[in-house]
A and B are shown apart, each in its own frame.
Chain A
């Protein structure tokens, strides 16, 4: 018995020694320098393959549902065989892109700037993408898809984080985010909020309208003091929260059962619940709302740049854009796409309604260099937001 013990320890030691030597080798290998990334100036022959990293529901080849397929027409048209990998969160997308194995990624605003900064994506020459022309102007060259006047991708679809409530329980009908932020909420324990650090921007947006003395001009550009105010508001909200949601089916179920009665939601969830006959309404409150606008970006290490551009052009075409955004449940980025969407669906998502779109503050990665243009102060970055978010949840 004693003897085996001794042997085990010896073996463990040698294994650890082995491990540490392996580590040394590994650390010696890894090096990275993000040199200046060039953009493509002319297209060549398609490479016959393209590898795409996307949100679930953005690249459907009929394997989920045989009727839902906009990849096969692309493959037939261009000869580029598509391989897809889906991701669940922006952060997962970011880590996967760092492997350099993907040519194209559908990045939300809370990932795009990080990808640019890390040198993982290349500027996109929009002249090589004929369908870029048809994209809504209010989505082009924004702070989440361009840097210093250089475009980094093609807008895909957009939507707002709406205020959803149970019409039979929440009365009078709310018109403001105060419904989820007021201290003595009558709906204590039944308020819900989106479970991500980016939700801090929702609180900042509310403060921007209700506490002008904080001088918040952009909910994604918060200095230390402004972040502290938002965190304080969210900590007050925390006592009223029943649960935080990130899985949209779970959110739908909580609203059906009445475990959540008021909180942030998406148009697609509200539409689904109303379709089931649940007494649910979703509104864009008077303060406006946060939202997302996703961008197709090209990897700086793309092995199939021509097929990547072919995909960007294809997915921005009215027909493909309509199918993909309708399937996902968001507004298309292209006016002509509305001709290909089912009756009334563009109106439901307020597609192309510039007034409506103006009230949406699209997800943007918070970075130290304030995105609102302030230079006299350092803003809080996403890592700080993440720490703050963990503390809010407690």
Chain B
């Protein structure tokens, strides 16, 4: 085997192998650039815009520092109401989704045989093949006063909730369900059967086993699921436009201020609300280790 000659490539690799920090810097430069440019800059620009103002007539942005938008957003009754409504919707969607996802995921992971499990995974993923808009409009027709829900509930004296906050919660719960089922399914899947057997050998009944053995193990997975449903609901504005009747969420306020009002600074200030809420939520759940399950 001929001895490698001192080519540039060889010199380079010798240099890199003796300088681990340079090697590392070169390796992470590209992803960091991507993260920095696409992600951080966009967020920083947003943050900075919130401290500017806009000339209401010409629509020019005035780049002098002002806290007016932040103050408006914090003190304005409108923003408080809409924030509360949005958080309420996001929480309701999350609770509903988790309640539906837990039994389904448990069945998929622990009860069903391989064939059924595969079919169920496909069934859960199937709605993701259809466009978001198609699904939202489908719910618009289901919830309509002449829709299928009314037709089904009328004989037992029930009525469709009509378009509004309830309709929004139902539709969003449907839309985000797969994102909640999948992490919880993965969580259940990771619970070794031997542990369930050990628990029952030691006299643990079903509920005791679930509570003391299974729940602590899948808890991070559940939290991971809630992050999806909570954050996706918090930022949504299209569903509420389609089935929300006259209600609006934070996303709608951002949208009107960017579009109709041409007031980017105020929109940026409003957009900070969900960011703050999500950061708070993430900080809270970080301790559970759920972030490693995403």
Contact = CB atoms under 8 A, between A and B. Distances in A.
A383 B261 contact: yes
Interface in A114-166: 114, 117-119
B247 to A, nearest CB: 8
A242 B242 CA distance: 12
By size class, the interface of chain A is 35 or more
Interface stretch (B32-40, B191-199, B219-227): B32-40
A210 interface: no
Given A23-B48, A242-B245, A32 B60 contact: yes
Contacts of B48: 20, 23
B242 A250 contact: yes
Contacts of B145: 257-259
A294 B182 CA distance: 51
A264 to B, nearest CB: 14
B218 to A, nearest CB: 24
27 contacts: A11-B28, A12-B40, A18-B36, A19-B40, A20-B48, A22-B41, A23-B44, A23-B45, A114-B59, A197-B261, A238-B246, A241-B246, A243-B245, A244-B246, A250-B242, A257-B144, A257-B145, A259-B145, A259-B146, A259-B162, A382-B57, A384-B56, A386-B260, A389-B256, A390-B256, A394-B81, A394-B82
Pick from A19, A34, A382, A389 the residue with the most CB of B within 10 Å.
A19
B245 A15 contact: no
A244 B248 CA distance: 10
B78 interface: yes
B262 interface: yes
B263 interface: yes
Nearest to B143: A259
B58 interface: yes
Contacts of A276: none
Contact of B146 (A12, A241, A258): A258
Given A91-B262, A367-B57, A383-B261, A15 B146 contact: no
Contacts of A393: 246-248
Given A386-B261, A387-B261, 11 more contacts: A16-B40, A19-B40, A23-B45, A32-B60, A91-B259, A95-B59, A241-B245, A244-B246, A258-B145, A258-B146, A381-B56
A118 B56 contact: no
A94 B248 contact: no
A82 to B, nearest CB: 26
B245 A386 contact: no
Interface in A14-41: 14-16, 18-20, 22-23, 27, 30, 32, 34
B185 interface: no
A19 B45 contact: yes
A189 interface: yes
A301 interface: no
Contact of B253 (A30, A257, A258, A390): A390
Nearest to B24: A7
Interface string A357-394: 00000000001100000000000011110110111011
B139 interface: no
The 6 closest A-B pairs by CB, nearest first: A383-B56, A15-B36, A386-B261, A118-B58, A19-B44, A15-B40
A196 B260 contact: yes
A12 B41 CA distance: 10
Contacts of B245: 241-243
By size class, the interface of chain B is 35 or more
A19 B146 CA distance: 53
B56 A382 contact: yes
B37 to A, nearest CB: 8
Contacts of B188: none
B36 A197 contact: no
A381 B57 contact: yes
Interface string A338-371: 0000000000000000000000000000011000
B163 interface: yes
B147 interface: yes
A384 B35 CA distance: 38
Contacts of A175: none
Interface string A65-97: 000000000000000000000001101101100
A209 interface: no
Pick from B45, B57, B81, B82 the residue with the most CB of A within 10 Å.
B57
Contacts of A383: 54, 56, 261, 263
A189 B257 CA distance: 26
A258 B247 CA distance: 19
